[in-house]
Amino acid sequence: MIRDRSHCRSTKRVFRSPKRSLELINCLFQKASQYTLTLQAADRLGTGLRTTATAIISLSTAGPAPAPSLLAAHPDAGNHTLLTVHALNVLTGLPATGLALHLSRPGDPQRLWEEMFKSATNSDGRLDGGSQATRQLTAGTYKLRFETGAYWEQQGYRSFYPYVEVVFSITEAERKVHIPLLLSPYSYSTYRGS
């Protein structure tokens, strides 16, 4: 049980198998260095074995600090916005690993878009913090191009959409922009995430 829920999101994940279920609440563990996790387990009918376990979880930093990226707050972020991306393969229900993407902004009149960087999603389907995406974004219009045709070809499928382009605008007031992409070989969906 997490007593201080002021930093928790309301999203819940429930994992179920024929005999067990586990409910987790997504939390951002940033306000304390130690948490107490209490798990209570029982069978579905509540007539069998019941048990409770408590674990103390201590948070610490191991190894060198990660390189600054669009994914993490940077001390001198100023008026910049951080960009996060999460791509999910809805055919398998798993992250879309290795999905190539390009971030562009409007260029000069002769070039419609100027590419800022290329990268690919990591094993969690997210924009990798170690990629070339090391700068924060300022107010303006941007385009994310996902190479969905190549991704689906690697998965053994043929895609109806060779690529997906998501054009979005950032205002000065925004501190973070999250762009989820849900994709299958014949459809995709995106929305403004949180």
* Residues of the binding site for substrate: 86, 126, 191
Angle at the Cα of 190 from the Cα atoms of 162 and 135, rounded to 5 degrees: 90
43 neighbors 49 (Cβ within 8 angstroms): yes
Binding-site residues, please? 86, 126, 191
Q: What is the 3-state secondary structure (H, E, C) of the chain?
A: CCCCCCCEEEEEEEEECCCCEEEEEEECCCCCCEEEEEEEEECCCCCCCEEEEEEEEECCCCCCCCCCCCCCCCCCCCCCEEEEEEEEECCCCEECCCCEEEEEEECCCCCCEEEEEEEEECCCCEECCCCCCCCCECCEEEEEEECHHHHHHHCCCCCCCCCEEEEEEECCCCCEEEEEEEEECCEEEECCEC
